Structure 1
Amino acid sequence: MSKFSTPEDLLNSQVKEVNKGNIDFLMTLYENDVCFANQPGQVVKDKELICKAFHELINKGIKLDARAKRVYYVDNLALLITEWSLNGRESDGTPINHTGNGTIVFRRQPDNTWLMVIENPWGTN
């Protein structure tokens, strides 16, 4: 399991590993009972479906850039507001260029590291 002392560290590692195509590593960033919005208005709560969504993105040769804009903490929870861009190509060559603001909820683990509990790259959609 991956160990991160801040939510920002986890986000930076997520970006790096998405760009490397390291899906096995990406799955270690989430709690088992994760909620993930893989598309606006579409939520999945199964790590296998999240893995499938990452496979689809990585197969398109996407490159992710993301940065933490703000982090709010209360007890063992953190809300991270992100700004991100995603670039790649569809199988027919059509460019993929998406940008947005996302929200991620993290929970501090018993060893004081952080994992994602809820991830919504689409912000409030």
Structure 2
Amino acid sequence: MSDQDVLNLIKQADKAISAEDFEALMEFYADDAVLVVKPGQIAKGKPQIRKAFEAIAKHFKNALTVSQGEAQVIESADTTLVIMETHLHIGDEIKPVTRRATYVFRRDPIYGWLCTVDNSYGTDLLDDR
């Protein structure tokens, strides 16, 4: 696997989030994936993750666009850790909100790389303790 494989998947997922194509978005996740919705709130499994993304879109008045910045990809066998800047562009706001996200991917023998942990807050979760 090249780093670009997983990074391209993340870019495709970001396009699906921005387009609110939640059906396509779910193809990027493992059935047992978890999503950090916000500190202290986790969605588990595709049905909960989809509902969370629908609620997030509504919260941002259907004006959320996601893009990525710098990234580091660390691979070990069938698991990959991605540490990445995530830029959240919200409506007409000029400056995006930037987070240092962490993602974990697992290689599935049939479906390829699937996201198992989606944490757009990254280590900032430690600040809320």
Work out which structure has the larger RCO, using CA pairs closer than 8 Å and 6 or more positions apart in sequence. 1
TM over 0.5: yes
Higher helix residue share: 2
Further displaced range: 66-75 or 52-61: 52-61
User: CA 1:68–1:45 in structure 2 vs 1: closer, same or farther (change >3 Å)?
Assistant: farther
Q: How many residues align?
A: 118
Aligned twin of 2:84: 82
User: Which residue of structure 1 aligns with residue 50 of structure 2?
Assistant: 51
Q: Is the 8 A contact 1:62 1:86 kept in 2?
A: yes
Q: Deviations over 1:66-117 (max 9, x none)?
A: 235100000100000110121225xxx9999532010000001114720001
Q: Which position in structure 2 is the counterpart of 1:16?
A: 15
SS of equivalent to 1:116: strand
Map 1:1-125 onto structure 2 (within 5 A).
6-59=5-58, 60=61, 61-67=63-69, 69-89=71-91, 97-111=96-110, 113-124=112-123, 125=125
Contact 2:99/2:122 (<8 A) preserved: yes
Cα distance in structure 2, aligned partners of 1:22 and 1:32: 18
> Are the equivalent residues in 2 in contact too, given 1:37–1:44 (CA < 8 A)?
yes
Q: Which TM-score applies when normalising by structure 2?
A: 0.80
The 4+ residue runs of structure 1 with deviation greater than 4 A are 93-97
Q: Residue 116 of structure 2 aligns to which amino acid in structure 1?
A: V
Deviation of 1:41 (Å)? 2.8
Partner-residue secondary structure (3-state), 1:6 = helix
Structure 2 unmatched ranges of 5 or more: none
- Aligned to 1:26, the other structure's residue is in SS state helix
